[in-house]
């Protein structure tokens, strides 16, 4: 084979590899499930089902622990004026979400998730009022995940550094990402976590953290990115592994068009 032909083949291979690298697309995580659609609501069983139905990599959801030890799926610290971590489950069980569903327990949510193969369960542990309560909710979440054999399907995130570190100590092989945005990828790696899951403004302030994360093998998730313009920007930003969005279908379409 002539040197000119070899050179042509080499250039073709380099360009093909470069295109795969440049246009590698992030995974889609539905923020509180796919709730911006008919019949759905934030953190509902329906929102989980709909996230799986449109092919999301994962569905994110928020977990609080009642005073009597029942993990429930809900975002805010209070429900109709009742503070969740100081209430019993009996005080909460009849309250409904915007679509009419009852507030799901974590067990109910995970049971439904176990049927939806291919959709990761992105479990956010909400920061509780004390370290002891953070540890208690971690223990209860792990008990349920193990009971339902969902270890490989469940990933964890939290704004509580203590909850993340305690979770890592209990479950060293779990995927755990920190949310608060105030720790560098190097320090995240040092404490044993697998990822950072930061608001998009954090990466505008610290763009170097994207490169640092890639070099260290720290997974990068950015939240909460909404709207076609912003989603297109972050979908094509090198170093972003996952995007958490309230518009998962829009992001999915952007990714399909760019392939």
Question: Which pLDDT score is estimated for 259?
Answer: 74
Owning domain of residue 191:
25-258
Domain-embedded: residue 12? no
Domain-embedded: residue 178? yes
Span 156-210, pLDDT tens digits: 999 999 999 999 999 999 999 999 999 999 999 999 999 999 999 999 999 999 9
What is the domain-level CATH number for residue 106?
3.20.20.190
Domain-embedded: residue 149? yes
Tokens of 173: 């092989």
Domain-embedded: residue 14? no
Q: What's the total number of domains in the chain?
A: 1
Domain-embedded: residue 8? no
Domain-embedded: residue 103? yes
Domain-embedded: residue 43? yes
Tokens of 191: 């404490």
Q: How far apart are CA 85 and CA 248, in angstroms?
A: 30
Span 96-148, pLDDT tens digits: 999 999 999 999 999 999 999 999 999 999 999 999 999 999 999 999 999 99
Q: Is the distance from CB of 58 to CB of 118 less than 8 angstroms?
A: no
Q: Is the distance from CB of 121 to CB of 148 less than 8 angstroms?
A: no
Q: Is the distance from CB of 246 to CB of 238 less than 8 angstroms?
A: no
Domain-embedded: residue 125? yes
User: Under 8 Å CB-to-CB from 134, ≥6 apart: which residues?
Assistant: 125, 127, 128, 160, 162, 163, 166
């Amino acid at each position: 084979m002539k040197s000119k032909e070899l050179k042509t083949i080499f250039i073709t291979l380099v360009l093909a590899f470069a295109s795969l690298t440049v246009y590698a697309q992030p995974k889609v995580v539905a923020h509180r499930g796919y709730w911006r659609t008919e019949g759905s609501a934030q953190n509902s069983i329906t929102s989980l089902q709909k996230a799986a139905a449109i092919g999301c990599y994962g569905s994110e959801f928020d977990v609080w622990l009642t005073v009597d030890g029942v993990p429930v799926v809900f975002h805010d610290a209070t429900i109709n004026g009742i503070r969740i971590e100081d209430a019993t489950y009996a005080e909460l069980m009849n309250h409904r979400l915007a679509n009419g569903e009852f507030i799901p327990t974590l067990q109910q949510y995970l049971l439904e998730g176990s049927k939806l193969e291919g959709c990761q369960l992105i479990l956010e542990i909400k920061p509780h009022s004390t370290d002891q309560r953070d540890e208690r909710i971690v223990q209860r979440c792990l008990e349920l995940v193990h009971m339902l054999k969902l270890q490989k399907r469940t990933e964890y995130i939290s704004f509580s550094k203590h909850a993340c570190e305690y979770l890592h100590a209990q479950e060293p092989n779990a995927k755990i990402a920190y949310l608060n945005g105030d720790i560098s990828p190097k320090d995240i790696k040092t404490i044993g976590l697998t990822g950072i899951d930061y608001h998009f403004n954090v990466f505008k302030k610290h763009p170097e953290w994207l490169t640092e994360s890639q070099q260290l093998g720290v997974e990068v998730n950015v939240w909460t990115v909404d709207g076609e313009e912003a989603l297109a920007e972050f979908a094509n930003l090198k170093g972003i592994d996952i995007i958490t969005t309230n518009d998962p279908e829009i992001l999915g379409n952007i990714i399909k068009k760019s392939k």
